[in-house]
Structure 1
Amino acid sequence: MPPKLRRRSTGAALSHAASGEEAPKSSETSPAPAAAAAGSGRWTRSRSARSHLGLDSDSTDHPRVVSGSSDQAAPKKRKKTTTAVGGRGGGRKEHAPAAAAAGGSTRLASRQVPGRYPDYPSLRPGQHALSKKHMSAVQEWMDECSRISKLEKQARPEDIPTLRDNPRDPLTPDAVVSSQDKAMVLRVARSVVSVSSSKPDGELISQCTGIVIGWDGANKCAKILTSCSTVCDFDGEFHKPTFKLSVRMPNRTITEGRLLFFNVHYGIALLEVKGDFQLQVPSFGLGINYGQDVFALARDENMSLMVRHGAISWLDYPGLSTNPYMFLSCDIPEGGSGGPVVDHDGNIIGIAFDRNPGPVVISITTIRTCIEMWHPFSRVARPMLGMQLKAVELLDVSMREELCLEYNITGGFIVNLVKVDSTAERIGIRRGDVIVFKDNRCSTLPQLEDYLLSLGWGYLQGLSFTIDLKVEVHNLADSYKESITFPVPFSDASKREWRHSLRGFTGDNSAAC
């Protein structure tokens, strides 16, 4: 028979614990009976019974047990795991999960839990699907689902991109595919704005795209290049009544714009805006070439970025009204007139416009020359040839071969239209002739436009009011050529001059010079 265990008195300890009084000092130096028993592995029968009945305090509440007990002394079962905070004995206790939650984000934790839709009511054994009780349960289920759905709609956040199923512009994802092109487009987009003109009552007149081409940080002033359709009609007449110009910045800030100048011949307008903006001036390329792969950027009325991917077409359209334009192989988005055309390096090489019969581009070199002229002289000047031309270089290959073999013509420009009583008509230039400019070996209409525009500096500086151009005229009807000096007057008008008297031209409708 095992030896009989002696009963140890724990009444004093229990009385102190129940009354909340501090134990005698002797307990600080000598272990408590329960602690000693736990430390030595010896238990009395009463102690064991009291432990099983939960009358003793948890061993983790006593600092000596936590620091001095062995693995064998640990209780076999604990209801909760607690962590003491603030020191020994009388410190505050927190549950471990609560402490972990306190270290997290309280804003995230306070977010409302999404609604949970209830399960469809199931049929009990022997219950018919059309029974009154089951149909009532189904009706309650439908009402609850409807209630939760309404709550979800009320709590649904504003339109955010991560919850949008489809892109705002469905063609943009196909236009910009690679990560490199996306990074390039995002970099250029920091300079792309939206420009609109409206009547005093708020009615929209025109909405276009613009680009930041200059930023004066000291005066908080930016210059915006856009389409002249925001301020005038096709002939250059201002929109009536008085209109207001609004510019939406990339950060969606709206500010009022002030018109500096516009030129219908080139289709551009220059605006000024003031404000404490964080704007970035893009990099500019050296020009645009036929067949070049390009991206056209635009903004809609909500400032959403839209992109199209295409190329510069090898095309001359005889009905186009001016020389400097080149054609895009892709459409531009609605409101995209005045938006930048960029290469794969992110350099702006042109500005896109919505024209009939299709979108066109004007070289950035031409536009920058216009702006450079305007700054000191407040005008843009160029010689007016009184003709409409098209480039030999863009003819089909069979026609080019015919011109080369039969007339020894490999370049130049075909005359499609001559203005009545113009200098060109008086010196004998006729429709169907081919002219070659001797002072400049330009072969395309944009190159010719840059050449003519460069001659305007002399006129603006007061050096001359006309300029003599040396040209070689090929008369194909009589099979001869002649070199002549062609005196040409200048024009600095912002409006379209030739448009007002189409009867003053002989021939079909081609690019007017």
Structure 2
Amino acid sequence: MNLRITHGRVEYWNPGSGERHHYMYLSHHEADRLSRKKNDDFLSHQNNADSLFDCDDNGGSIIGLDGKVVGLVNKHVNKSFVPSCILDKCVDLWSEFRCIPRLHLGMKFTSIKLLDPVHVEKMWRMYKIEDGLIVEEVSKDSHAEKLGICLGDVIERFNGECISTTIELENMLLGRCRDHLDQGNHLNVDIDVSIQVFHLEERLRRTINLTVNVSDSGEIVRRRTCPITEGTSTSVQSIQHVADDSSLPRELTWEDLARRYHRLL
């Protein structure tokens, strides 16, 4: 009978670099946070009206104003929940195939639409781009890195579809995995997905085939560690290996990387 009901609103944030694509976030009323501090000894203060609000949810359903379940609280990440559209696909995959596979892209992203309006306007003014996913991390030695995808580049399309948020991306990845298994294929194999990339530094748009792995294991995006050498110029080992496009740079400095990304900020 320890049913607890709280209220709040959905915050459209981009997931952090250590979080999964499918998380959405909640913002509770200020009274929720204050009440937690005042009601650590909850049972002895049941007459306190603030005790009805508690933002430290440890599980449960997220119910919209129309009474429908829209997600499930994730107690492992602060104030986050998994939306129903993702849960439905996961349950469906598990029921039929006893696994929940996804495509390992080797990248982390930030949605342009979820940046603040100043950054969105700047992207449009400088590059005429108003939609897509900004590459926030590229996994070391991944196929994405070998194709020349770098920090700050914008992924505009996956398999011809415009992708605006990481939730839409995760939906697309799960759907592609469902198609893969429906065709009688197996896990832990490589497949190709078509992506349209805009390289900010070169102002170059390309459509390339990215080889990704179909796996039901968690994806680890490995950060590249670069030695810092003495001298007036700080250099890194080559982080771009582009076999099919000689117009892209073969090597970037730390200053290039910082400029490429913080130009968006």
Alignment TM-score, normalising by the size of structure 2: 0.69
Cα 1:454–1:339, aligned 2, differ >3 Å: closer, same or farther? same
Q: Kindly report which structure 2 residues correspond to 1:56-455, keeping only aligned pairs within 5 A, or say none.
A: 303-330=1-28, 333=54, 336-356=57-77, 358-438=78-158, 439-455=160-176
Hey, what's the Cα distance between the residues in 1 that align with 2:180 and 2:196? 24
Q: What's the CA shift string for 1:74-125, capped at 9, x where partnerless?
A: xxxxxxxxxxxxxxxxxxxxxxxxxxxxxxxxxxxxxxxxxxxxxxxxxxxx
Q: What's the CA shift string for 1:315-334, capped at 9, x where partnerless?
A: 22434421000110126847
1:479 paired to 2:200: no
Q: What's the CA shift string for 1:473-506, capped at 9, x where partnerless?
A: 111112221121222211112xx3417x556899
Cα 1:488–1:362, aligned 2, differ >3 Å: closer, same or farther? same
Which residue identity lines up with residue 200 of structure 2 in the other structure?
L
Hey, what's the Cα distance between the residues in 2 that align with 1:337 and 1:442? 31
- SS of equivalent to 2:11: coil
Hey, what's the Cα distance between the residues in 2 that align with 1:394 and 1:401? 12
Hey, what's the Cα distance between the residues in 1 that align with 2:133 and 2:169? 10
Partners of 2:133 and 2:163 within 8 A in 1: no
Question: Between the two proteins, what is the percent identity of the paired residues?
Answer: 29
Hey, what's the Cα distance between the residues in 2 that align with 1:408 and 1:352? 37
Hey, what's the Cα distance between the residues in 2 that align with 1:337 and 1:440? 36
Partners of 1:381 and 1:459 within 8 A in 2: no
Structure 1 residue 335 displacement after superposition: 7.0
- SS of equivalent to 1:315: coil
Hey, what's the Cα distance between the residues in 2 that align with 1:427 and 1:397? 31
Hey, what's the Cα distance between the residues in 2 that align with 1:422 and 1:485? 13
Cα 1:401–1:455, aligned 2, differ >3 Å: closer, same or farther? same
Match of residue 468, structure 1, among 192, 209, 220: 192
Partners of 1:381 and 1:460 within 8 A in 2: no
Structure 1 residue 336 displacement after superposition: 3.1
Structure 1 residue 376 displacement after superposition: 1.9
Which residue identity lines up with residue 190 of structure 2 in the other structure?
T
- SS of equivalent to 1:498: coil
Q: What's the CA shift string for 1:343-399, capped at 9, x where partnerless?
A: 12221010112345x311111111111111111211111111000101000111111
Hey, what's the Cα distance between the residues in 2 that align with 1:401 and 1:497? 33
Which residue identity lines up with residue 324 of structure 1 in the other structure?
H
Hey, what's the Cα distance between the residues in 1 that align with 2:219 and 2:113? 28
Which residue identity lines up with residue 315 of structure 1 in the other structure?
W
Hey, what's the Cα distance between the residues in 1 that align with 2:192 and 2:95? 26
Number of matched residues?
202
Which residue identity lines up with residue 487 of structure 1 in the other structure?
T
Hey, what's the Cα distance between the residues in 1 that align with 2:193 and 2:225? 23
1:498 paired to 2:220: yes
Structure 1 residue 410 displacement after superposition: 1.1
CA RMSD of aligned residues (A): 2.6
Q: What's the CA shift string for 1:250-296, capped at 9, x where partnerless?
A: xxxxxxxxxxxxxxxxxxxxxxxxxxxxxxxxxxxxxxxxxxxxxxx
Hey, what's the Cα distance between the residues in 2 that align with 1:380 and 1:355? 19
Q: Work out which of the two has the higher radius of gyration on C-alpha atoms and give 1 or 2.
A: 1
Partners of 1:381 and 1:492 within 8 A in 2: yes
Partners of 1:419 and 1:504 within 8 A in 2: no
Q: What's the CA shift string for 1:179-234, capped at 9, x where partnerless?
A: xxxxxxxxxxxxxxxxxxxxxxxxxxxxxxxxxxxxxxxxxxxxxxxxxxxxxxxx
- SS of equivalent to 1:460: helix
Cα 1:504–1:338, aligned 2, differ >3 Å: closer, same or farther? farther
Cα 1:450–1:380, aligned 2, differ >3 Å: closer, same or farther? same
Cα 1:409–1:368, aligned 2, differ >3 Å: closer, same or farther? same
Q: Where does the alignment leave 5 or more consecutive residues of structure 2 unmatched? A: 33-52, 227-238, 240-256, 259-265
Partners of 1:414 and 1:434 within 8 A in 2: yes
- SS of equivalent to 1:477: coil
Hey, what's the Cα distance between the residues in 1 that align with 2:142 and 2:166? 20
- SS of equivalent to 1:375: helix
Structure 1 residue 338 displacement after superposition: 3.0
Hey, what's the Cα distance between the residues in 2 that align with 1:305 and 1:391? 35
Hey, what's the Cα distance between the residues in 2 that align with 1:335 and 1:348? 19
Q: Where does the alignment leave 5 or more consecutive residues of structure 1 unmatched? A: 1-302, 509-513
Partners of 1:471 and 1:486 within 8 A in 2: yes
- Name the structure, 1 or 2, with higher relative contact order (CA <8 Å, separation 6+): 2
Partners of 2:17 and 2:108 within 8 A in 1: no
Structure 1 stretches of at least 4 aligned residues deviating more than 4 Å after TM superposition:
331-335, 501-508
Partners of 1:437 and 1:469 within 8 A in 2: no
